[in-house]
Chain A
Amino acid sequence: MAFLEVSNITRRFGGLVALNAVSFEVEKGEILGIIGPNGAGKTTLFGVISGFIPPSSGNVVYDGESIIGVSPDRLVRRGLMRSFQIVQSFADMTTLDVVTTAALTRRPMREAIDYAAQALLRVGLGGKEHKTPATLSLQDKKLLELAKCIATDPRCILLDEVMAGLTMAETAAPIAIIEELNKQGVTIVMVEHVMPVIMRLAQRMVVINFGEKIAQGTPDEIIKDQRVVDAYFGDHLDA
Protein backbone atom coordinates (compact mmCIF):
# COMPACT_ATOMS: atom_id res chain seq x y z
CA MET A 1 0.00 0.00 0.00
CA ALA A 2 1.31 3.44 -0.91
CA PHE A 3 2.12 6.06 1.72
CA LEU A 4 -0.46 8.49 0.37
CA GLU A 5 -3.37 7.29 -1.73
CA VAL A 6 -5.78 9.69 -3.34
CA SER A 7 -8.78 7.85 -4.76
CA ASN A 8 -11.58 9.28 -6.83
CA ILE A 9 -11.52 12.69 -5.21
CA THR A 10 -14.25 14.95 -6.51
CA ARG A 11 -14.86 18.45 -5.25
CA ARG A 12 -17.59 20.77 -6.50
CA PHE A 13 -17.93 24.46 -5.79
CA GLY A 14 -21.58 25.05 -6.65
CA GLY A 15 -21.80 24.14 -10.33
CA LEU A 16 -18.05 24.16 -10.85
CA VAL A 17 -16.29 20.79 -10.69
CA ALA A 18 -12.85 21.79 -9.39
CA LEU A 19 -11.72 18.16 -9.04
CA ASN A 20 -13.25 15.26 -10.94
CA ALA A 21 -12.46 11.73 -9.73
CA VAL A 22 -8.76 12.34 -9.29
CA SER A 23 -6.69 9.34 -8.19
CA PHE A 24 -2.97 8.84 -7.73
CA GLU A 25 -0.50 7.34 -5.28
CA VAL A 26 2.60 8.65 -3.61
CA GLU A 27 5.25 6.19 -2.46
CA LYS A 28 7.14 6.74 0.75
CA GLY A 29 10.26 8.83 0.22
CA GLU A 30 9.54 9.98 -3.33
CA ILE A 31 9.12 13.43 -4.82
CA LEU A 32 5.94 13.67 -6.84
CA GLY A 33 5.39 16.72 -9.00
CA ILE A 34 1.93 17.97 -9.85
CA ILE A 35 1.49 20.29 -12.80
CA GLY A 36 -1.43 21.78 -14.62
CA PRO A 37 -2.61 25.09 -16.06
CA ASN A 38 -4.00 27.88 -13.86
CA GLY A 39 -7.30 26.93 -12.29
CA ALA A 40 -6.73 23.21 -12.93
CA GLY A 41 -7.53 22.36 -9.30
CA LYS A 42 -4.07 21.80 -7.83
CA THR A 43 -4.51 24.00 -4.77
CA THR A 44 -7.97 22.56 -4.19
CA LEU A 45 -6.40 19.09 -4.27
CA PHE A 46 -3.89 20.09 -1.58
CA GLY A 47 -6.74 21.61 0.41
CA VAL A 48 -8.55 18.28 0.33
CA ILE A 49 -5.50 16.20 1.27
CA SER A 50 -4.51 18.53 4.11
CA GLY A 51 -7.98 18.52 5.65
CA PHE A 52 -8.96 22.10 4.88
CA ILE A 53 -11.49 21.33 2.14
CA PRO A 54 -13.90 18.43 2.58
CA PRO A 55 -14.21 16.51 -0.70
CA SER A 56 -17.62 16.02 -2.29
CA SER A 57 -16.70 12.35 -2.68
CA GLY A 58 -13.68 10.08 -2.74
CA ASN A 59 -11.08 9.03 -0.22
CA VAL A 60 -7.57 9.88 0.89
CA VAL A 61 -5.52 7.29 2.76
CA TYR A 62 -2.38 8.47 4.54
CA ASP A 63 -0.07 6.02 6.25
CA GLY A 64 -2.68 3.27 6.12
CA GLU A 65 -5.68 5.24 7.41
CA SER A 66 -8.38 7.30 5.77
CA ILE A 67 -7.93 10.95 6.68
CA ILE A 68 -11.20 12.33 5.37
CA GLY A 69 -12.73 14.46 8.11
CA VAL A 70 -9.51 14.66 10.12
CA SER A 71 -8.70 18.26 11.05
CA PRO A 72 -5.60 19.93 9.54
CA ASP A 73 -3.87 20.36 12.88
CA ARG A 74 -4.21 16.67 13.69
CA LEU A 75 -2.75 15.80 10.30
CA VAL A 76 0.21 18.06 11.06
CA ARG A 77 0.78 16.15 14.27
CA ARG A 78 0.67 12.96 12.23
CA GLY A 79 3.37 14.35 9.98
CA LEU A 80 1.34 15.59 7.01
CA MET A 81 2.21 19.22 6.43
CA ARG A 82 1.34 21.71 3.71
CA SER A 83 2.59 25.09 2.57
CA PHE A 84 0.35 27.78 1.15
CA GLN A 85 0.55 29.16 -2.37
CA ILE A 86 -0.65 32.49 -0.99
CA VAL A 87 1.98 33.19 1.62
CA GLN A 88 0.31 33.50 5.00
CA SER A 89 0.78 36.69 6.96
CA PHE A 90 0.97 37.23 10.70
CA ALA A 91 0.41 40.81 11.77
CA ASP A 92 1.98 40.84 15.16
CA MET A 93 4.46 37.99 15.31
CA THR A 94 8.09 37.67 14.32
CA THR A 95 9.28 34.96 11.94
CA LEU A 96 10.85 33.24 14.95
CA ASP A 97 7.51 33.31 16.81
CA VAL A 98 5.69 31.77 13.86
CA VAL A 99 8.23 29.00 13.29
CA THR A 100 8.40 28.36 17.04
CA THR A 101 4.66 27.71 17.04
CA ALA A 102 5.22 25.15 14.29
CA ALA A 103 8.05 23.56 16.27
CA LEU A 104 5.79 23.25 19.33
CA THR A 105 3.98 20.50 17.44
CA ARG A 106 6.54 18.05 18.74
CA ARG A 107 8.74 19.89 21.21
CA PRO A 108 8.51 21.58 24.60
CA MET A 109 8.86 25.36 24.79
CA ARG A 110 12.59 25.82 25.25
CA GLU A 111 13.57 23.25 22.63
CA ALA A 112 11.01 24.64 20.21
CA ILE A 113 12.60 28.09 20.18
CA ASP A 114 16.06 26.65 19.48
CA TYR A 115 14.70 24.31 16.87
CA ALA A 116 12.83 27.14 15.17
CA ALA A 117 15.98 29.26 15.09
CA GLN A 118 17.80 26.32 13.48
CA ALA A 119 15.04 25.89 10.91
CA LEU A 120 15.28 29.57 9.99
CA LEU A 121 19.03 29.24 9.68
CA ARG A 122 18.66 26.15 7.55
CA VAL A 123 16.45 27.88 4.98
CA GLY A 124 18.74 30.90 4.95
CA LEU A 125 16.67 33.25 7.08
CA GLY A 126 19.30 33.56 9.81
CA GLY A 127 19.43 37.12 11.10
CA LYS A 128 15.79 37.75 10.20
CA GLU A 129 14.34 36.11 13.32
CA HIS A 130 12.86 39.32 14.66
CA LYS A 131 11.30 40.63 11.49
CA THR A 132 7.58 40.33 10.92
CA PRO A 133 6.73 38.09 7.95
CA ALA A 134 5.01 40.99 6.18
CA THR A 135 8.30 42.91 5.92
CA LEU A 136 10.12 40.02 4.18
CA SER A 137 10.79 39.90 0.45
CA LEU A 138 8.78 37.44 -1.63
CA GLN A 139 11.72 35.04 -1.72
CA ASP A 140 12.09 35.19 2.04
CA LYS A 141 8.36 34.68 2.55
CA LYS A 142 8.57 31.49 0.49
CA LEU A 143 11.57 30.38 2.55
CA LEU A 144 9.53 31.05 5.69
CA GLU A 145 6.85 28.67 4.40
CA LEU A 146 9.59 26.04 4.11
CA ALA A 147 10.93 26.80 7.59
CA LYS A 148 7.44 26.31 9.05
CA CYS A 149 7.26 22.92 7.30
CA ILE A 150 10.67 21.83 8.53
CA ALA A 151 9.94 22.89 12.11
CA THR A 152 7.02 20.45 12.44
CA ASP A 153 9.25 17.45 11.60
CA PRO A 154 6.97 16.28 8.79
CA ARG A 155 6.95 12.87 7.15
CA CYS A 156 5.13 14.16 4.10
CA ILE A 157 4.88 17.71 2.83
CA LEU A 158 2.65 19.27 0.23
CA LEU A 159 4.42 22.25 -1.32
CA ASP A 160 2.20 24.60 -3.29
CA GLU A 161 4.29 26.71 -5.70
CA VAL A 162 7.10 27.56 -3.30
CA MET A 163 9.17 28.75 -6.26
CA ALA A 164 6.55 30.88 -8.00
CA GLY A 165 7.71 34.45 -8.54
CA LEU A 166 11.35 33.67 -7.82
CA THR A 167 14.18 34.22 -10.29
CA MET A 168 16.15 31.16 -11.41
CA ALA A 169 18.98 32.15 -9.07
CA GLU A 170 16.58 32.50 -6.17
CA THR A 171 15.22 28.99 -6.65
CA ALA A 172 18.60 27.48 -5.79
CA ALA A 173 18.02 27.75 -2.04
CA PRO A 174 14.57 26.11 -1.90
CA ILE A 175 15.70 23.40 -4.34
CA ALA A 176 18.61 22.51 -2.09
CA ILE A 177 16.35 22.41 0.95
CA ILE A 178 13.80 20.18 -0.76
CA GLU A 179 16.52 17.78 -1.93
CA GLU A 180 17.98 17.63 1.55
CA LEU A 181 14.60 16.97 3.17
CA ASN A 182 13.93 14.24 0.66
CA LYS A 183 17.29 12.67 1.35
CA GLN A 184 16.29 12.51 5.01
CA GLY A 185 13.25 10.47 4.03
CA VAL A 186 10.54 13.11 3.81
CA THR A 187 7.96 12.36 1.13
CA ILE A 188 7.29 15.42 -1.00
CA VAL A 189 4.37 16.32 -3.22
CA MET A 190 4.94 19.58 -5.02
CA VAL A 191 2.91 21.78 -7.29
CA GLU A 192 5.11 23.95 -9.45
CA HIS A 193 4.83 26.01 -12.61
CA VAL A 194 8.58 26.46 -12.98
CA MET A 195 9.19 23.53 -15.35
CA PRO A 196 12.97 23.16 -15.16
CA VAL A 197 12.71 22.97 -11.39
CA ILE A 198 10.03 20.33 -11.25
CA MET A 199 11.62 18.32 -14.07
CA ARG A 200 14.79 18.19 -12.07
CA LEU A 201 13.31 17.43 -8.66
CA ALA A 202 10.36 15.15 -9.33
CA GLN A 203 10.80 11.44 -9.79
CA ARG A 204 7.24 11.11 -11.06
CA MET A 205 4.66 13.59 -12.21
CA VAL A 206 0.89 13.90 -12.32
CA VAL A 207 -0.78 16.28 -14.74
CA ILE A 208 -4.14 17.84 -13.95
CA ASN A 209 -6.30 19.79 -16.36
CA PHE A 210 -9.81 21.12 -15.66
CA GLY A 211 -9.98 19.08 -12.47
CA GLU A 212 -9.06 15.79 -14.12
CA LYS A 213 -5.87 13.80 -14.11
CA ILE A 214 -4.81 13.60 -17.74
CA ALA A 215 -1.42 11.94 -17.44
CA GLN A 216 1.18 10.57 -15.09
CA GLY A 217 4.70 9.24 -15.47
CA THR A 218 8.34 10.18 -15.26
CA PRO A 219 9.29 13.74 -16.25
CA ASP A 220 10.66 12.44 -19.56
CA GLU A 221 7.44 10.62 -20.37
CA ILE A 222 5.40 13.66 -19.42
CA ILE A 223 7.07 16.15 -21.75
CA LYS A 224 6.60 13.77 -24.64
CA ASP A 225 2.94 13.15 -23.89
CA GLN A 226 0.80 14.80 -26.56
CA ARG A 227 -2.16 15.40 -24.19
CA VAL A 228 0.12 17.26 -21.82
CA VAL A 229 1.67 19.29 -24.58
CA ASP A 230 -1.78 20.25 -25.82
CA ALA A 231 -3.35 20.98 -22.45
CA TYR A 232 -0.49 22.52 -20.66
CA PHE A 233 2.26 23.82 -22.86
CA GLY A 234 -0.11 24.62 -25.70
CA ASP A 235 -2.05 26.75 -23.30
CA HIS A 236 1.05 28.69 -22.43
CA LEU A 237 2.18 29.15 -26.02
CA ASP A 238 -1.18 30.61 -26.99
CA ALA A 239 -1.03 33.14 -24.18
Chain B
Amino acid sequence: MREEFYKTLSSPIWWGTLAIAAIMPFVLSSYYVHILTLALVYVALASSWNIVGGMAGQISLAHSLFIGIGSMFSAALLLKLGINMWLGLVISAVISGILGAVIAWIDFRFQLGHLSFVLITLAFAEMGSIVVEGWDFLGGASGLLLPKDTGNFLAFQFGGGHGAFWMMLGLAAICVLVNVAILNSPLGYYLRTIRDNEKAAQAIGVNILRYKITAMVISAMLASVVGTAYVRYLTFADPYLLISPVITIEIVLFATVGGLGRAYGPALGALLLVPLGEILRGKLGSTLPGLHYFIYGIVVISVILVTPRGLLPLFERLWARWRGPAVAGKS
Protein backbone atom coordinates (compact mmCIF):
# COMPACT_ATOMS: atom_id res chain seq x y z
CA MET B 1 0.00 0.00 0.00
CA ARG B 2 1.29 3.44 -0.89
CA GLU B 3 1.85 6.07 1.77
CA GLU B 4 -0.94 8.20 0.31
CA PHE B 5 -3.45 5.77 1.74
CA TYR B 6 -2.16 6.10 5.29
CA LYS B 7 -1.99 9.84 4.80
CA THR B 8 -5.67 9.78 3.92
CA LEU B 9 -6.43 7.64 6.94
CA SER B 10 -4.70 10.11 9.25
CA SER B 11 -5.74 13.24 7.40
CA PRO B 12 -7.55 15.90 9.44
CA ILE B 13 -9.45 16.94 6.30
CA TRP B 14 -10.94 13.47 5.99
CA TRP B 15 -12.01 13.19 9.58
CA GLY B 16 -13.05 16.84 9.70
CA THR B 17 -15.31 16.39 6.69
CA LEU B 18 -16.80 13.25 8.21
CA ALA B 19 -17.34 15.00 11.55
CA ILE B 20 -19.07 17.95 9.90
CA ALA B 21 -21.19 15.57 7.85
CA ALA B 22 -22.06 13.64 11.00
CA ILE B 23 -23.60 16.66 12.73
CA MET B 24 -25.78 17.52 9.73
CA PRO B 25 -28.86 15.74 11.15
CA PHE B 26 -28.81 18.21 14.07
CA VAL B 27 -28.62 21.20 11.74
CA LEU B 28 -30.87 20.31 8.83
CA SER B 29 -34.58 19.60 8.61
CA SER B 30 -35.60 15.99 8.17
CA TYR B 31 -36.40 16.66 4.51
CA TYR B 32 -32.81 17.65 3.81
CA VAL B 33 -31.47 14.83 5.99
CA HIS B 34 -33.47 12.47 3.77
CA ILE B 35 -31.96 14.01 0.63
CA LEU B 36 -28.45 13.72 2.09
CA THR B 37 -29.06 10.11 3.09
CA LEU B 38 -30.13 9.39 -0.46
CA ALA B 39 -27.05 11.18 -1.75
CA LEU B 40 -24.89 9.00 0.51
CA VAL B 41 -26.55 5.85 -0.82
CA TYR B 42 -25.48 6.94 -4.29
CA VAL B 43 -22.02 7.99 -3.11
CA ALA B 44 -21.57 4.43 -1.86
CA LEU B 45 -23.04 2.84 -4.99
CA ALA B 46 -21.19 5.05 -7.48
CA SER B 47 -17.93 4.49 -5.58
CA SER B 48 -18.35 0.73 -5.60
CA TRP B 49 -19.25 0.77 -9.30
CA ASN B 50 -16.15 2.91 -9.94
CA ILE B 51 -13.86 -0.03 -9.15
CA VAL B 52 -15.07 -1.85 -12.24
CA GLY B 53 -16.44 0.96 -14.39
CA GLY B 54 -13.89 3.65 -13.65
CA MET B 55 -10.64 1.94 -12.71
CA ALA B 56 -10.91 -1.13 -14.93
CA GLY B 57 -12.87 0.78 -17.58
CA GLN B 58 -15.56 -1.87 -17.89
CA ILE B 59 -18.98 -0.31 -18.16
CA SER B 60 -20.94 -2.84 -16.14
CA LEU B 61 -24.71 -2.51 -16.25
CA ALA B 62 -25.06 -5.56 -14.01
CA HIS B 63 -24.93 -3.58 -10.81
CA SER B 64 -28.71 -3.37 -10.35
CA LEU B 65 -28.50 -7.13 -10.03
CA PHE B 66 -26.08 -6.89 -7.10
CA ILE B 67 -28.08 -4.07 -5.50
CA GLY B 68 -31.21 -6.13 -6.08
CA ILE B 69 -29.72 -9.23 -4.46
CA GLY B 70 -28.52 -7.18 -1.49
CA SER B 71 -31.94 -5.63 -1.02
CA MET B 72 -34.65 -8.02 -2.25
CA PHE B 73 -32.91 -11.24 -1.25
CA SER B 74 -31.90 -10.18 2.24
CA ALA B 75 -35.42 -8.76 2.76
CA ALA B 76 -36.93 -12.05 1.59
CA LEU B 77 -34.60 -14.07 3.82
CA LEU B 78 -35.80 -12.06 6.80
CA LEU B 79 -39.51 -12.09 5.97
CA LYS B 80 -39.87 -15.59 4.57
CA LEU B 81 -37.24 -17.53 6.54
CA GLY B 82 -36.68 -15.31 9.57
CA ILE B 83 -32.98 -14.97 8.83
CA ASN B 84 -31.35 -12.06 10.63
CA MET B 85 -30.61 -9.25 8.21
CA TRP B 86 -26.93 -9.05 9.20
CA LEU B 87 -26.62 -12.63 8.08
CA GLY B 88 -28.77 -11.83 5.05
CA LEU B 89 -26.34 -9.05 4.21
CA VAL B 90 -23.43 -11.48 4.26
CA ILE B 91 -25.25 -14.19 2.28
CA SER B 92 -26.38 -11.68 -0.37
CA ALA B 93 -22.89 -10.20 -0.64
CA VAL B 94 -21.38 -13.65 -1.16
CA ILE B 95 -23.94 -14.50 -3.86
CA SER B 96 -23.32 -11.15 -5.56
CA GLY B 97 -19.58 -11.74 -5.41
CA ILE B 98 -19.94 -15.15 -7.02
CA LEU B 99 -22.18 -13.74 -9.76
CA GLY B 100 -19.68 -10.95 -10.30
CA ALA B 101 -16.89 -13.49 -10.69
CA VAL B 102 -18.97 -15.46 -13.20
CA ILE B 103 -19.65 -12.34 -15.27
CA ALA B 104 -15.95 -11.37 -15.22
CA TRP B 105 -15.01 -14.90 -16.23
CA ILE B 106 -17.47 -14.89 -19.13
CA ASP B 107 -16.05 -11.55 -20.26
CA PHE B 108 -12.53 -12.99 -20.26
CA ARG B 109 -13.36 -16.41 -21.64
CA PHE B 110 -15.26 -15.03 -24.62
CA GLN B 111 -13.01 -11.97 -25.03
CA LEU B 112 -15.97 -9.62 -24.99
CA GLY B 113 -15.31 -6.17 -26.40
CA HIS B 114 -16.56 -3.06 -24.63
CA LEU B 115 -19.97 -3.07 -26.27
CA SER B 116 -20.57 -6.80 -25.75
CA PHE B 117 -19.62 -6.39 -22.10
CA VAL B 118 -22.20 -3.63 -21.69
CA LEU B 119 -24.87 -5.73 -23.38
CA ILE B 120 -24.07 -8.95 -21.52
CA THR B 121 -24.11 -7.20 -18.15
CA LEU B 122 -27.39 -5.52 -19.10
CA ALA B 123 -28.80 -8.94 -20.01
CA PHE B 124 -27.80 -10.23 -16.56
CA ALA B 125 -29.55 -7.26 -14.95
CA GLU B 126 -32.71 -7.81 -17.00
CA MET B 127 -32.73 -11.49 -16.10
CA GLY B 128 -32.43 -10.51 -12.46
CA SER B 129 -35.44 -8.25 -12.59
CA ILE B 130 -37.50 -10.87 -14.40
CA VAL B 131 -36.62 -13.45 -11.74
CA VAL B 132 -37.54 -11.07 -8.92
CA GLU B 133 -40.85 -10.03 -10.47
CA GLY B 134 -41.81 -13.62 -11.19
CA TRP B 135 -40.74 -15.25 -7.93
CA ASP B 136 -43.10 -14.87 -4.97
CA PHE B 137 -40.31 -15.66 -2.50
CA LEU B 138 -38.71 -12.36 -3.49
CA GLY B 139 -42.00 -10.52 -3.28
CA GLY B 140 -42.88 -10.69 -6.97
CA ALA B 141 -43.98 -7.50 -8.65
CA SER B 142 -45.59 -6.12 -5.48
CA GLY B 143 -42.40 -6.04 -3.42
CA LEU B 144 -41.76 -6.71 0.25
CA LEU B 145 -42.49 -4.64 3.33
CA LEU B 146 -39.90 -4.84 6.10
CA PRO B 147 -40.89 -4.60 9.78
CA LYS B 148 -40.74 -1.13 11.29
CA ASP B 149 -37.23 0.10 12.13
CA THR B 150 -37.20 0.29 15.92
CA GLY B 151 -33.50 0.92 16.20
CA ASN B 152 -32.60 -2.64 17.21
CA PHE B 153 -29.01 -2.74 15.98
CA LEU B 154 -28.73 -6.51 16.32
CA ALA B 155 -31.61 -6.83 13.84
CA PHE B 156 -29.90 -4.46 11.40
CA GLN B 157 -32.06 -1.55 12.47
CA PHE B 158 -30.73 1.96 12.87
CA GLY B 159 -33.76 3.85 14.15
CA GLY B 160 -34.69 5.53 10.85
CA GLY B 161 -33.91 9.24 10.23
CA HIS B 162 -30.67 10.16 11.98
CA GLY B 163 -29.54 6.58 12.57
CA ALA B 164 -29.97 5.68 8.92
CA PHE B 165 -28.06 8.79 7.92
CA TRP B 166 -25.08 7.86 10.09
CA MET B 167 -25.13 4.29 8.91
CA MET B 168 -25.11 5.49 5.29
CA LEU B 169 -22.39 8.01 6.06
CA GLY B 170 -20.23 5.21 7.46
CA LEU B 171 -20.93 2.97 4.51
CA ALA B 172 -20.25 5.73 1.97
CA ALA B 173 -16.98 6.55 3.77
CA ILE B 174 -15.97 2.90 3.62
CA CYS B 175 -16.73 2.67 -0.11
CA VAL B 176 -14.69 5.81 -0.83
CA LEU B 177 -11.85 4.53 1.38
CA VAL B 178 -11.85 1.23 -0.51
CA ASN B 179 -11.40 3.30 -3.68
CA VAL B 180 -8.47 5.18 -2.14
CA ALA B 181 -6.94 1.94 -0.93
CA ILE B 182 -7.25 0.19 -4.30
CA LEU B 183 -5.84 3.12 -6.25
CA ASN B 184 -2.81 3.16 -3.96
CA SER B 185 -2.18 -0.56 -4.10
CA PRO B 186 -0.99 -2.89 -6.87
CA LEU B 187 -4.60 -3.73 -7.75
CA GLY B 188 -5.23 -0.10 -8.72
CA TYR B 189 -2.18 -0.07 -10.99
CA TYR B 190 -3.20 -3.36 -12.57
CA LEU B 191 -6.77 -2.23 -13.20
CA ARG B 192 -5.73 1.08 -14.73
CA THR B 193 -3.21 -0.65 -16.96
CA ILE B 194 -5.86 -3.16 -18.04
CA ARG B 195 -8.25 -0.30 -18.80
CA ASP B 196 -5.71 1.62 -20.85
CA ASN B 197 -4.18 -1.27 -22.79
CA GLU B 198 -4.98 -4.89 -22.07
CA LYS B 199 -2.29 -6.37 -24.30
CA ALA B 200 0.43 -4.11 -22.97
CA ALA B 201 -0.73 -4.86 -19.43
CA GLN B 202 -0.24 -8.57 -20.03
CA ALA B 203 3.17 -7.87 -21.52
CA ILE B 204 4.32 -6.28 -18.26
CA GLY B 205 3.12 -9.19 -16.17
CA VAL B 206 -0.49 -8.34 -15.32
CA ASN B 207 -2.81 -11.33 -14.95
CA ILE B 208 -5.88 -9.94 -16.70
CA LEU B 209 -8.40 -12.57 -15.59
CA ARG B 210 -7.38 -12.56 -11.95
CA TYR B 211 -7.64 -8.79 -11.53
CA LYS B 212 -10.81 -8.38 -13.59
CA ILE B 213 -12.43 -10.96 -11.32
CA THR B 214 -11.01 -9.33 -8.19
CA ALA B 215 -12.37 -5.93 -9.23
CA MET B 216 -15.78 -7.30 -10.11
CA VAL B 217 -16.08 -9.30 -6.89
CA ILE B 218 -15.16 -6.35 -4.65
CA SER B 219 -17.46 -4.05 -6.59
CA ALA B 220 -20.39 -6.49 -6.59
CA MET B 221 -20.08 -7.27 -2.89
CA LEU B 222 -19.96 -3.60 -1.93
CA ALA B 223 -22.98 -2.82 -4.13
CA SER B 224 -24.85 -5.69 -2.52
CA VAL B 225 -24.08 -4.47 1.01
CA VAL B 226 -25.23 -0.97 0.08
CA GLY B 227 -28.39 -2.56 -1.34
CA THR B 228 -29.14 -4.22 2.00
CA ALA B 229 -28.60 -0.97 3.88
CA TYR B 230 -30.68 0.95 1.35
CA VAL B 231 -33.67 -1.37 1.60
CA ARG B 232 -33.54 -1.15 5.39
CA TYR B 233 -33.70 2.62 5.06
CA LEU B 234 -36.57 2.48 2.56
CA THR B 235 -38.38 -0.22 4.58
CA PHE B 236 -40.26 -1.12 1.42
CA ALA B 237 -38.38 -3.36 -1.02
CA ASP B 238 -39.62 -2.08 -4.36
CA PRO B 239 -38.39 -4.21 -7.27
CA TYR B 240 -39.07 -1.44 -9.78
CA LEU B 241 -36.61 0.77 -7.93
CA LEU B 242 -34.02 -1.66 -6.60
CA ILE B 243 -33.47 -4.15 -9.36
CA SER B 244 -34.21 -1.99 -12.35
CA PRO B 245 -31.32 -1.16 -14.71
CA VAL B 246 -32.35 2.49 -14.26
CA ILE B 247 -30.54 2.57 -10.91
CA THR B 248 -27.32 1.47 -12.64
CA ILE B 249 -27.71 4.17 -15.28
CA GLU B 250 -27.99 6.75 -12.49
CA ILE B 251 -24.85 5.38 -10.84
CA VAL B 252 -22.92 5.47 -14.12
CA LEU B 253 -24.10 9.02 -14.66
CA PHE B 254 -22.99 10.23 -11.22
CA ALA B 255 -19.61 8.54 -11.53
CA THR B 256 -19.03 9.98 -15.00
CA VAL B 257 -20.06 13.50 -14.06
CA GLY B 258 -17.86 13.39 -10.95
CA GLY B 259 -14.78 11.80 -12.50
CA LEU B 260 -14.38 8.19 -13.60
CA GLY B 261 -11.63 6.14 -12.05
CA ARG B 262 -10.83 8.74 -9.41
CA ALA B 263 -11.22 7.95 -5.72
CA TYR B 264 -13.44 10.94 -4.96
CA GLY B 265 -14.95 11.52 -8.40
CA PRO B 266 -18.07 9.35 -8.14
CA ALA B 267 -18.72 10.62 -4.61
CA LEU B 268 -18.55 14.21 -5.84
CA GLY B 269 -20.93 13.45 -8.70
CA ALA B 270 -23.49 11.83 -6.41
CA LEU B 271 -23.22 14.56 -3.77
CA LEU B 272 -23.97 17.24 -6.36
CA LEU B 273 -26.47 15.54 -8.62
CA VAL B 274 -28.69 13.68 -6.14
CA PRO B 275 -29.56 16.81 -4.13
CA LEU B 276 -29.91 18.80 -7.36
CA GLY B 277 -32.35 16.25 -8.76
CA GLU B 278 -34.32 15.98 -5.53
CA ILE B 279 -34.52 19.70 -4.92
CA LEU B 280 -35.51 20.46 -8.51
CA ARG B 281 -38.21 17.84 -8.23
CA GLY B 282 -39.38 19.20 -4.90
CA LYS B 283 -39.55 22.79 -6.17
CA LEU B 284 -40.78 22.26 -9.72
CA GLY B 285 -42.25 18.75 -9.75
CA SER B 286 -45.77 19.91 -8.87
CA THR B 287 -45.94 23.21 -10.77
CA LEU B 288 -44.57 22.09 -14.10
CA PRO B 289 -44.28 18.31 -14.23
CA GLY B 290 -41.32 17.23 -16.33
CA LEU B 291 -39.50 20.55 -16.16
CA HIS B 292 -37.18 19.30 -13.44
CA TYR B 293 -36.05 16.45 -15.65
CA PHE B 294 -35.38 18.94 -18.40
CA ILE B 295 -33.25 21.26 -16.25
CA TYR B 296 -31.46 18.29 -14.68
CA GLY B 297 -30.69 16.95 -18.15
CA ILE B 298 -29.33 20.30 -19.32
CA VAL B 299 -27.04 20.51 -16.29
CA VAL B 300 -25.72 17.00 -16.86
CA ILE B 301 -25.15 17.54 -20.58
CA SER B 302 -23.38 20.85 -19.97
CA VAL B 303 -21.05 19.32 -17.41
CA ILE B 304 -20.15 16.45 -19.71
CA LEU B 305 -19.53 18.80 -22.63
CA VAL B 306 -17.47 21.26 -20.61
CA THR B 307 -15.40 18.67 -18.77
CA PRO B 308 -15.69 15.22 -20.35
CA ARG B 309 -13.46 13.71 -17.67
CA GLY B 310 -15.73 14.93 -14.93
CA LEU B 311 -16.01 17.68 -12.37
CA LEU B 312 -13.16 16.53 -10.15
CA PRO B 313 -10.45 17.09 -12.80
CA LEU B 314 -12.08 20.44 -13.61
CA PHE B 315 -11.96 21.52 -9.95
CA GLU B 316 -8.35 20.35 -9.73
CA ARG B 317 -7.40 22.43 -12.75
CA LEU B 318 -9.15 25.48 -11.32
CA TRP B 319 -7.46 24.91 -7.97
CA ALA B 320 -4.05 24.57 -9.61
CA ARG B 321 -4.59 27.78 -11.57
CA TRP B 322 -5.69 29.60 -8.46
CA ARG B 323 -2.67 28.36 -6.50
CA GLY B 324 -0.40 29.55 -9.30
CA PRO B 325 1.57 27.67 -11.93
CA ALA B 326 4.14 26.36 -9.44
CA VAL B 327 2.02 23.40 -8.41
CA ALA B 328 0.24 22.87 -11.71
CA GLY B 329 1.03 19.90 -13.86
CA LYS B 330 1.28 17.23 -11.22
CA SER B 331 -1.77 15.01 -11.17
Contacts and interface: CB of A to CB of B under 8 A. Distances in A.
Nearest to B201: A101
B208 to A, nearest CB: 7
Contacts, number: 83
B196 A91 contact: yes
Contacts of B204: 76, 81, 98, 101-102, 105, 148, 151-152
Interface in A80-129: 81-82, 84, 88-94, 97-98, 100-102, 104-105, 108-110, 112-113
A219 interface: no
Given A73-B208, A90-B193, A97-B189, A110 B2 contact: yes
Interface in B87-125: none
B203 A130 contact: no
A233 B138 CA distance: 75
A93 B196 contact: yes
Interface in B180-204: 184-186, 189-190, 192-193, 195-197, 199-204
A109 B193 contact: no
A73 B193 CA distance: 13
B186 A90 contact: no
A77 interface: yes
A162 to B, nearest CB: 14
Contacts of A73: 202-203, 205-208
A94 B330 CA distance: 10
Interface string A124-161: 00000010000000000000000010011000000000
A104 B189 CA distance: 9
A73 to B, nearest CB: 5
A109 B1 contact: yes
Nearest to A103: B204
Give the size range of A's interface with the partner.
Answer: 20 to 34
Nearest to A98: B193
A28 B199 CA distance: 27
A149 B331 CA distance: 25
A134 B3 CA distance: 28
B143 interface: no
A100 B189 contact: yes
Contacts of A94: 331
Nearest to A72: B202
A174 B75 CA distance: 63
A72 B203 CA distance: 6
A50 B202 CA distance: 10
A101 B331 contact: no
Contacts of B192: 92-93, 97, 101
A52 interface: yes
B16 interface: no
- State the 9 A-B residue pairs at the shortest beta-carbon distance, nearest first: A88-B200, A76-B205, A105-B205, A102-B204, A90-B196, A101-B189, A72-B202, A101-B193, A104-B186
13 contacts: A52-B203, A73-B203, A76-B203, A77-B205, A84-B200, A88-B197, A93-B192, A97-B193, A98-B193, A109-B185, A109-B186, A112-B186, A152-B204
Given A88-B199, A90-B196, 5 more contacts: A52-B203, A73-B208, A89-B197, A91-B196, A101-B201
